[in-house]
Amino acid sequence: MDTQVIVIDEHNIDADKIRVAGKIIRDGGLVAFPTETVYGLGGDGLNPESSKRIYAAKGRPSDNPLIIHIARLEDLYPIVSEVTEDVLRLAEAFWPGPLTMILPKSDRVPYETTGGLDTVAVRMPEHKTALAFIEAAGGYVAAPSANTSGKPSPTMATHVIDDMQGRIDMIIDGGAVGIGLESTIVDMTEEVPMILRPGYITQEMLYKVLGEVTMDKTLMGEDTKEAPKAPGMKYKHYAPKGDLTIVEGSEEAVIQQINALICKGQARGERVGVIATKETMDYYKADVVKCAGSRQCEEEIAHGLYAILREFDDDEVTLIYSESFESLGMGQAIMNRLLKAAGYQVIHAE
């Protein structure tokens, strides 16, 4: 399949290009598009055949449900069976934006889109190109992140091209995304709303609107035999080819420990990479040292994390050590993704 790549500037949207992209979706095709979180791989969320194509293009297990993206609040009503006051409050506070709500689905939504579940994930993204595209596509764009299953989510069009060229009809290049980690998912079908995936919208921000909100306890690697509630969170995701381990502890201890591990690894013939911060990057003696950003700015770290994980694949490192980050505020989303990428391998440096 020929994949057309077109550039659309969010601040000067070309209506003709958007119309063409929208028609591809209405005709049952697939278009990757930028959002404020990561790039999405879009198909018609109400067309079961489109959802099947999305799973095939991603190589994703079909029990892993898709998020339906909408552009207007009124479009929420036809696809869900109930809209509570709390749901409206969250929509008012965070839509358009990086928040996905799990809601009871209506009959309009095919089970192919929800992976067989009676609930549907809905999000209104805050990206002008995404919103215009969703409207042109008929209002309901089912979209997982536009990576092949198991790879980090794409934060730049080049990532999407690497993964999806030849597999989908079109890629809309909108440059680098803003946030860099996927949306926060909150399950509104629970008695007490529950965060199924941490993101830019933090537990505290949700708490301020809802008064109560819990966190799926399987998310931060706590010992539990239960599976995470969001089916996608159970898969080893975002995994770089090199074997990634997180090293936690005081700054000094972490630097010492990682340098010792680098020496050991290199002595065995490994090529070693490190995910460091602005504050520490000069202290490492690895083959490749990547700076994730300053510890003073979690947004910066979130923004660059996936690109770094992808770059390590090109650098062909076989071992990767990463510093650890605070599990507070947005740091919770960063650590959640990093832990998954590391398959929960953590060393405590003394």
Residue numbers at the binding site for ligand TXA (CB under 6 A)? 35, 37-38, 40, 64-67, 100, 102, 114, 117, 119-121, 123, 125, 143-145, 182-183, 185, 196, 229-233
Q: Which does 301 bind (CB under 5 to 8 A by kind): Mg ion, ligand TXA, none?
A: none
Smallest distance, ligand TXA to C-beta of residue 303, A: 14
The secondary element (H helix, E strand) that includes residue 68 is strand 67-69
Smallest distance, ligand TXA to C-beta of residue 253, A: 34
Q: Which residue minimizes CB distance to ligand TXA? A: 232
Cα–Cα distance, 158 to 156 (Å, whole number): 5
Asked whether the bond before 96 is cis by omega within 30 degrees of 0, the reply is: yes
Nearest to 62 by CA among 236, 184, 232: 232
Encoded tokens for 335: 């650590």
Nearer to ligand TXA, 197 or 290 (CB): 197
The single residue among 100, 145, 184, 257 that binds Mg ion, judged by CB under 5 A, is: 145
Smallest distance, ligand TXA to C-beta of residue 165, A: 18
Q: Which residue minimizes CB distance to Mg ion? A: 145
Q: Which does 336 bind (CB under 5 to 8 A by kind): Mg ion, ligand TXA, none?
A: none
Q: Name the H helices within the chain.
A: 15-26, 48-58, 85-94, 111-114, 128-136, 157-164, 203-210, 251-267, 298-315, 331-341
Q: What is the DSSP letter of 274?
A: E
Smallest distance, ligand TXA to C-beta of residue 200, A: 9
Integer CA distances (angstroms), 257 to 250, 261, 263, 268, 303, in order:
10, 6, 10, 17, 26
Encoded tokens for 208: 């301020």
Nearer to ligand TXA, 141 or 291 (CB): 141
Report yes or no: 44 and 141 within 8 Å, Cβ to Cβ: yes
DSSP symbols for 42-54? EEETT-HHHHHHH
257 interacts with Mg ion by CB under 5 A: no
Beta strand 319-323 pairing with 272-276: parallel
Smallest distance, ligand TXA to C-beta of residue 125, A: 6
Nearer to Mg ion, 18 or 146 (CB): 146
Part of the chain binding Mg ion (CB under 5 A), chosen from 59-67, 78-86, 142-150, 295-303? 142-150
Nearer to Mg ion, 227 or 297 (CB): 227
Cα–Cα distance, 327 to 219 (Å, whole number): 11
Nearer to Mg ion, 35 or 218 (CB): 35
Nearer to Mg ion, 54 or 288 (CB): 54
100 interacts with Mg ion by CB under 5 A: no
DSSP symbols for 74-122? GGGGGGBS---HHHHHHHHHH-SSSEEEEEEB-TTS-HHHHTT-SEEEE
Q: Which does 121 bind (CB under 5 to 8 A by kind): ligand TXA, Mg ion, none?
A: ligand TXA
Part of the chain binding Mg ion (CB under 5 A), chosen from 82-90, 111-119, 141-149, 308-316? 141-149
Q: Contact positions toward Mg ion, by CB under 5 A?
A: 145
